[in-house]
Amino acid sequence: MPIYYFQCLTCDETDEDTCMFKNKQYPTCSRCGTVMSDDFKSKVDAPADVPRVSSAMGVHPSQIDSAELEKVHPGAKFNPNGDMLLKNRSEQKQRLKERNWVNRDSY
């Protein structure tokens, strides 16, 4: 689901929310009560450091902790479903490289 960033134009408080686009609502500022607006500024910077889960780079649950997996992706973390857990965009890029995958977003 997409993450939306909001900013209070009155006192500069920021907030974020993860929701479906059709459910998107502007929250009220927790500090001064003003209805917040889109914060396009931090939208550009912030997502790079947001943790992400990649099922595309996931493995079968039986492969988690296998020696071969550790060889291909040293130190990689997986959830019980076998989805790869990534700290941020730079780890995602590194893991793609380890698999010799090309991240189309980087073109």
Interface with Zn ion (CB under 5 A): 8, 10-11, 13, 29, 31-32, 34
Minimum CB separation of residue 42 from Zn ion in Å reads 15
> What residues contact 86, with CB distance under 8 A and at least 6 apart?
51, 52, 53, 54, 92, 95
Alpha helices in 1-99 (DSSP H): 40-45, 67-72, 89-98
Nearer to Zn ion, 10 or 94 (CB): 10
Minimum CB separation of residue 61 from Zn ion in Å reads 46
Nearer to Zn ion, 12 or 49 (CB): 12
